[in-house]
Amino acid sequence: MKRHGVGTTITEHILREERENPEATGAFTTLLNELIVAAKVVSREVNKAGLVDILGSTGRINVQDENVQKLDAFANQVLIERMQHIGQLCCMGSEENADLIDIPPDYPKGNYILLFDPLDGSSNIDVNVSIGTIFGIFKKNSEETNIDILLTDVLQPGIKQVAAGYFIYGSSTIMVYTTGKGTGVHGFTLYPSLGEFLLSHKNIQVPEKGKIYSVNEGNYSHWDEKTRALIDYFKTDDKETGRPYTSRYVGSLVADFHRNLLKGGIFMYPADKKDPKKPTGKLRLMVEANPLAMVVKEAGGYASDGHGPILEIDPSELHQRTPLYIGSKKDVELAEAFISGKYTGETS
């Protein structure tokens, strides 16, 4: 509903979802609202990232400023500082921190666990390519609030996430999130003049099959035969099965994922032999793969590690890595058939 020329704000949307959930206490609404504030701060900083140098070189100000930090460290700090005091979290986990992040003793604790990648795609910051923040939210198993949280409380399979989503800092800033259970995936665009996220992408559905494949093909020589066969498949001419697919790879997971979510297709970061320390690929299960897997599932798509659903992986480490195939259901099922050696012939 339009109100005085403004569409649905994200706050309205979250409150509506809260009213429709009889078990809601308002705790989750508080959590999301504070997360949105943190993302607005990061978005503002990302938008002026290039200006720091410009101002420094022309006006000779700021360039020696000790407070000018790397943006990913800044985003991490903003998220931790904004989220730790709200009273709804029992701990956090960040891609930037080796261990779990405790809630300081002078703040109240809650039942939610927030896991995030504060600035994904950070190698793209310097070149003005879209980057993002990814988040997944779990509930701890026990209702008791004043107990110490152990890593085992956090290491839950992605299927147990109660919400997940991302912010993309691109030509505009967009938040996409879901609370699962059929509530849909919705996108909200930040209107800078209002400082508000407004509903812009209602109930996003990823096409069942796409035309795009997204992968860092520079890793070709490090892949096994099955992975190479899959990529060769997408590139081979065959009108009946809609091939060749078109290749699109930004190198920012959030940006590549977001494009394929809206247009259809598959994003892949396969296992490779490039780095013996990362035999299962580069991407992190808890802060990258799981949240996007929840989003894509709710939008009608699928995420796999090549052998089964990402959301069913039982994690053993906070920073566990996983191969990732994610996007249109039929494309990901096909990839899974190739990788697990079950591919038998042409599919449409």
CA distance 113 to 139: 6
60-68, 103-111, 248-256, 300-308 -> range binding ligand FDP (CB under 6 A): 248-256
Q: Taking CB under 6 A as the rule, does residue 264 contact ligand FDP?
A: no
Cβ proximity to ligand FDP, 103 vs 176, nearer residue: 176
Q: Taking CB under 6 A as the rule, does residue 122 contact ligand FDP?
A: yes
Cβ proximity to ligand FDP, 121 vs 158, nearer residue: 121
Cβ proximity to ligand FDP, 217 vs 238, nearer residue: 217
Nearest to 273, CA basis, from 227, 315, 336: 227
DSSP state of 243: B
Cβ proximity to ligand FDP, 251 vs 279, nearer residue: 251
* Number of chain residues interacting with ligand FDP (CB under 6 A): 12
Q: Taking CB under 6 A as the rule, does residue 121 contact ligand FDP?
A: yes
Q: Taking CB under 6 A as the rule, does residue 123 contact ligand FDP?
A: yes
Q: Which value, in Å, is the radius of gyration of the alpha carbons in the chain?
A: 20
Instruction: Count Cβ atoms below 10 Å from residue 243 Cβ, excluding itself.
Output: 16
Q: Please, which residues have CB within 8 angstroms of residue 263's CB and are 6 or more apart in sequence?
A: 207, 210, 211, 212
27-35, 37-45, 164-172, 245-253 -> range binding ligand FDP (CB under 6 A): 245-253
Q: Taking CB under 6 A as the rule, does residue 282 contact ligand FDP?
A: yes
Cα-based torsion angle of the residue sequence 287, 170, 266, 138 in order, rounded to the nearest 10 degrees = 20
Q: What is the DSSP string of 103-150?
A: PPTTS---SEEEEEEEEETGGGGGGT--EEEEEEEEE-SS--SSSPPP
> Which listed residue (108, 251, 279, 308) binds ligand FDP by CB under 6 A?
251
Which parts of this chain interact with ligand FDP (CB under 6 A)? 120-124, 216, 251-253, 282-283, 288
